[in-house]
Amino acid sequence: MVNPVVTRTETSGEVSLKTPLLFAETSMGMNVGGRSSRFLRILTGVAMRCWAIAGAAVLTCLLLYWAYGGLLAFMLLCFATTGILYHTEDNLLFHPELPAHSRVFVPVPSMFGLPYENIFVHSGDGTMLHLFYIRQQPANVAANAPTIIFLHGNAGNMGHRLQNTLGLYQNLQCNILMLEYRGYGLSQGSPSEEGLCMDARAALDYLASRQDVNHKEIILFGRSLGGAVAIDVASRPEYSSKIWCVVLENTFTSIPDMAKVLIGWRLVNYLPLCFYKNKFLSASKISCLERPTLFISGLADTLVPPRMMTELHRCCSSHHKQLLQFESGTHNETWTISGYYHAFANFLRDVRMRSTLPESPPSQVKPV
């Protein structure tokens, strides 16, 4: 309690009390201080709530980034990787530079004593293609002999297959048109799935334009990648009618199937087809192939699994098809196995005989 302070005013002799004034000033100070502290507490409470909400939001964002941002980053990484692979697939599949100087030097048939014509034709898109046409002698024999369109594999040039061509020429008594795909050997352009198939169609059109060719007996032969090209051409109705028969050697069901075999990553099994620039879906196309077809499979092939040849034989719609298996045949050298040309010749003889007889059930040659 505050003791009253008494003051005297000598001029008037009056006495006044200052206690009420002092009390009023003290009460006012207490009220102002209370309001300030309440305001500070409210402000602090609001700040704490904002801090808590902001902290929760930041934590939520971090959790969402960890859960979804990491997934998004992983998906972007996969997309970028597949994009790079998509644009480098041509380099993984096509090897026109192997062995060295394959784009500069092409061995010619005369090195093996084979008479030939050096030919340049335009493909469907104007690309200049290089071909060898090897003819039987004399000219009247060549005009009646069957003609093989030789579609080679994914490396080197057509000149690297001349020793095999010599065996076909001598043992089958046939003419041989050797095609050098775009981007290979002396042909212009760059290889691609559509480009190679277009080139094979151009070779068939070229033969159809010649008057000195037996158009009733044109054989489409494809080894490895060339087999996929042959299947594409022979499965097209407008070109199937120009083909007498088809011979496929150590080829594959599709590029996606080969990727699963060669790469071995489990992720490859789940990649959609749109991630493959070159597909060569032979297993689905061959269901439209109705010409007589011989399947030559080397069971010692360590590149293309022989089961793929068995699958292609099963899916083929031809009423005259044979599967010829060589136990010791490898991917590129099956043609060196004893009995290869004999079996090839027997198939052609069988096709020629069946063309004059009613259709008979499909046959399969036992392993050699």
Active site residues: 224, 301, 331
Instruction: Judge contact between 179 and 186, C-beta under 8 A.
Output: no
Counting beta carbons within 10 angstroms of the beta carbon of residue 341, is it exposed (0 to 12), middle (13 to 18) or buried (19 or more)? Answer: middle
Q: What is the CA radius of gyration of the chain?
A: 42
User: Token pair of 260, please?
Assistant: 């699963």
Distances (CA, A) of 316 to 235, 286, 294, 362: 10, 5, 10, 10
Query: Using CA atoms, how far apart are residues 236 and 246, in angstroms rounded to an integer?
Result: 13
Query: Using CA atoms, how far apart are residues 124 and 128, in angstroms rounded to an integer?
Result: 10
DSSP sequence for 259-276? HHHHT--GGGGG--GGG-
Query: Using CA atoms, how far apart are residues 264 and 314, in angstroms rounded to an integer?
Result: 25
> In 65-175, which residue ranges form alpha helices assigned H by DSSP?
70-93, 139-144, 162-172
